[in-house]
Structure 1
């Protein structure tokens, strides 16, 4: 995001934190607004025009989204009154705040991150499903129905709402990328960070506890572990947290040794 958009996003997050009565429905309504704005270049242009008074923007949003509850309307008013680098980042900002509102409505449960991660793994392991959900020509409603069949009764409502939105509004993003980004937003809303741990065998509960505690000390925040079992790593573990990668797998050491011997 550009500098203006980052400042506006921070203001929107602060407004969300100060707003009372936030529920999952608040997040649903914000995500619906993001989709509506994304579908209209003219609307994005008006809302992004600094010469248009904030009151006029709020009135326009109220006409377009007449069913907004007070919490969603208050947050959306802050968003459209702020300056964004471009219309796309305005939509991105509404989406991020909407996901944060859903996380808050669900009590900032780490279950959401785990379920988003699990669904991403399912999609990655099924090329046909990935193609179906990522098909730009497929109807949004049809993709949403696929999501409902897969996780509608298995995941918490917050997870279903987030995934439903993402498949309806990909905006050029891959499904795995969207799910990972959404999990990071949920974690940040709960003042956590997400670490993906890949190991040859499942980690014991004690190992998970020790690893999470060590990462928490290093990064200064609670850590949500997403675990992947991959026999090809042979032994050890690979930890990815944002852009940081700690690769202590035997396969990585063997690869490094081969490079040294080849040199």
Structure 2
């Protein structure tokens, strides 16, 4: 479980990223993201290093210099600065450092999309790809199958998204293949959608409807949810004819199920008593 200490350590690196992103091109940010994610992969492969960098018995400066020494000449100065800032923080467990390194790489990718004014499109493409995969059990099984080499699954992602999605989206989908933050493929994509929305200071509302909502219906629903939650909301609609009518809306841990299917199910349960 993430602690306040973990959040403070991550925030220090996030602040450094905010300063970096304001004066860096999207293409360079994408390169930095790949380097940060490469460092995260190093932490996956080297548990002893992960433990050493999260060892609270060591001074933060010592841990930072340890990582700097290992990365010197292997990745760019920006990636070294970002990841060594993480290493200098205090962590409740080595796994929290690893999760934060992965999240930092994602944050750099999202910063690249933001600099290109494509962040909303990336959020939408991630959601739509996840929705397509969820609607195809065979595709979802292949993309989630850890026995299939990740390079092979990555080529499938390239084929599916070629000319249909931005490069940041493709990179994030490929990250989901290996399980972002230890999650499964679909859960990884869901989390990435939420991080993209949060970067735009938005909450995600997952809506299930029996048929496609009109633009006006979607707008009015979004306005109502924004009034309820006091912040902007990204409405993400999935169509499922089995709900028959009405809407199911999930925002974070809140679920509002007003579908006809739910009411029928409740009626059957009441009649069976």
Give the TM-score normalised by structure 2.
0.87
For the 8 Å contact 2:211–2:240, the answer to whether it is kept is yes
2:192 matched residue in structure 1: 182
The 2-side partners of 1:223 and 1:35 are apart by 33
Asked whether 1:36 is paired with 2:46, we answer no
Cα 1:140/1:59, change in 2 over 3 Å: farther
The counterpart of 1:231, out of the listed 223, 237, 241, is 241
The 2-side partners of 1:117 and 1:149 are apart by 18
The 1-side partners of 2:65 and 2:158 are apart by 34
Cα 1:137/1:226, change in 2 over 3 Å: same
The counterpart of 1:46, out of the listed 46, 49, 52, is 52
1:2 matched residue in structure 2: 2
- Structure 1 residue 152: deviation in Å? 3.6
Cα 1:43/1:152, change in 2 over 3 Å: farther
2:30 matched residue in structure 1: 24
The counterpart of 1:151, out of the listed 161, 171, 187, is 161
- Structure 1 residue 177: deviation in Å? 0.7
Greater RCO (Cα-Cα under 8 Å, separation 6 or more): 1
Cα 1:215/1:77, change in 2 over 3 Å: same
List aligned pairs for 1:1-263, cutoff 5 A: 1-3=1-3, 4-20=5-21, 21-22=23-24, 23-65=29-71, 66-107=73-114, 109-169=119-179, 172-263=182-273
SS at match of 2:119: coil
Mean Cα deviation higher: 1-10 or 181-190: 1-10
- Structure 1 residue 63: deviation in Å? 4.4
For the 8 Å contact 2:204–2:235, the answer to whether it is kept is yes
The 2-side partners of 1:127 and 1:145 are apart by 19
Alignment RMSD (CA, Å): 2.1
For structure 2, list consecutive stretches of 5 or more residues without a partner in the other structure: none
For the 8 Å contact 1:200–1:235, the answer to whether it is kept is yes
For the 8 Å contact 1:143–1:168, the answer to whether it is kept is no
Give the TM-score normalised by structure 1.
0.90
- Structure 1 residue 13: deviation in Å? 2.6
Q: State how many pairs are aligned.
A: 263
- Structure 1 residue 17: deviation in Å? 2.3
- Structure 1 residue 75: deviation in Å? 2.0
Structure 1 moving runs of 4+ over 4 Å: 169-172
For the 8 Å contact 2:102–2:181, the answer to whether it is kept is no
